[in-house]
Structure 1
């Protein structure tokens, strides 16, 4: 059996510190994948992987690496779909789990919203701000995912 890990799509992840706390408590290796600009952690359980500049390079690395037993933290729906297909557990930073049961709907919603945005160039915003309750839901979801 391979080592369990938490893989973080780190460039825009708002819950890196929370994930590190949980990883430390469970003594599970955590990998922060980014294009750079992320300060490496002094925690020996936390590894930083810096990929080449360019669109989706971190996503490509995570998708190629994730597998059964891993927990992937990302808000990127196409990346989540690849990780779910590879057998990894996937959590969004707000704690929502993406699974084989709901990833198809998440992809369809993402595509619909992209179409709506492109049809109306004056459309602004669209999402609600990340809240303290989201952090709490994430911590609970990560704990549950690691206990499975």
Structure 2
């Protein structure tokens, strides 16, 4: 098992790396040149800046049973197709059962934005969200006997 972090805009990178080190799980941070993120305890892969370049690198590396951390529904769907465990920055697990609805929501939001409308952004991140993510990732690592 490995942990892969879609680190462009990921607010829980440090928490994930800390838990990876604690559980002796290899961790890879993937980001583009605009977000070069280097941390002790993790390998960093920096890809060229471009639409979805970090996402495609991550999906090419992830395998069955790995953990992928992302808030991107499209990337989550691709990782699920490779039998990875996928969670977001709030600790919510993406599954075959919920990903279709999330992708549909994303498509509707994109359509609204293309037509000049606005969609609500994310609220300010809270300590509770960080705790929820940490608890979810810890549970995944313990459940998989790490």
Alignment TM-score > 0.5, same fold = yes
Q: Aligned ranges for residues 1-148 of structure 1 at < 5 Å?
A: 4-36=1-33, 37-43=35-41, 46-119=42-115, 121-123=116-118, 125-148=120-143
Q: CA deviation at 1:147?
A: 2.3
Q: Report the TM-score when normalising by structure 2.
A: 0.90
SS in 2 for 1:72: strand
Q: CA RMSD in A?
A: 1.4
SS in 2 for 1:34: strand
Q: CA deviation at 1:51?
A: 1.1
Which of structure 1's runs of 4+ aligned residues deviate more than 4 A?
none
8 A Cα contact 1:80 1:98, kept in partner = yes
What is the total number of aligned residue pairs between the two structures?
A: 142
- For structure 1, the residue ranges without an aligned partner over 5 or more in a row are none
SS in 2 for 1:49: strand
User: In 2, Cα distance between the equivalents of 1:116 and 1:127?
Assistant: 16
Q: Deviation per CA, 1:71-112: give whole Å up to 9, x if none.
A: 100011100000011000001101111011111111111111
Kindly tell me: are residues 115 and 39 of structure 1, through their superposed partners in 2, closer, same or farther at Cα, counting changes over 3 Å? closer
Q: Deviation per CA, 1:12-65: give whole Å up to 9, x if none.
A: 10001100111011010110001133342233xx10001122111100011111
User: In 1, Cα distance between the equivalents of 2:24 and 2:87?
Assistant: 19
Kindly tell me: are residues 124 and 86 of structure 1, through their superposed partners in 2, closer, same or farther at Cα, counting changes over 3 Å? closer
User: In 1, Cα distance between the equivalents of 2:76 and 2:117?
Assistant: 29
- For structure 2, the residue ranges without an aligned partner over 5 or more in a row are none
User: In 1, Cα distance between the equivalents of 2:37 and 2:109?
Assistant: 33
8 A Cα contact 1:71 1:146, kept in partner = no
